[in-house]
Amino acid sequence: MNYLARVVTFCCITFLLASCSTASRWTAKWEETVIDGPWVAPGVHAREFSRSYYAGLMATSDATDTVWTTAKGGRRNMSRILDAVERHLKQLGYFDRLPESQSGYDGYIQRLAPFKFHVVAINPTVVLMVPHDFGNPKGNRSTRDIVGSQPKQSRGSKYMINYIEYGTKLPYHPDILWFSPDLGTSPMPLTRRTSSEQEIIHKRIRLVTKGEGDAWITHRN
């Protein structure tokens, strides 16, 4: 087989494998994972669906797509929502003000924020920040020692070793903050109504957090 024939054969095989991979993606079955989904409308939680599929010869594992449902039955890619959260904080210069850790991602030294981040609503996306002392991000401590095991409802971050969690329940702290990439807001305190109730009031959303024991429970009105 001459050189040209080998090239043509290689291209054909590559095309066929790529086609099989693509077909596998679109024929993969969506399966629901029962979660405490973020609010998508008053009284309506997002539902979560995922599908796994063959990602190609160069991949070390199957690829997975995860979506959240909207109030009108549509679907939004979870990763894109969480990417927007990180991108918004980066544009605000938030990560530049944080101490560096000993971990990195794609050449970037990840930081440690003194908060736990919780996506409590989408359409628009709202994130609550719960103050938390993780200690020194350096020294003889692994990332797991610093931020703990990854919570079930969470994803890692490109820019910090903190996880980005999601759901309507979060740890109690009297001084939580909120921000929204969709609304273009920077982290700010909630409006305090009582010692056990705070709220976010915006023309596009109203969220109320109520203290119950050692947790805040959010409600969308």
Are 127 and 193 members of one domain?
A: yes
Are 28 and 127 members of one domain?
A: no
pLDDT at 138: 87
Are 140 and 183 members of one domain?
A: yes
Question: Which pTM value belongs to this model?
Answer: 0.86
pLDDT at 3: 58
* Tokens coding 178: 């909120």
Are 85 and 160 members of one domain?
A: yes
Note down the domain range covering 151: 79-220
Number of domains within the chain:
2
Q: Which residues of the chain have pLDDT under 70?
A: 1-23, 55-61
Q: Which of residues 76, 105, 122 is at a domain's end?
A: 76
Are 186 and 99 members of one domain?
A: yes
Rounded CA separation 117/126 (Å): 10
Residues 134-159 pLDDT 10s: 999 988 899 999 999 999 999 999 99
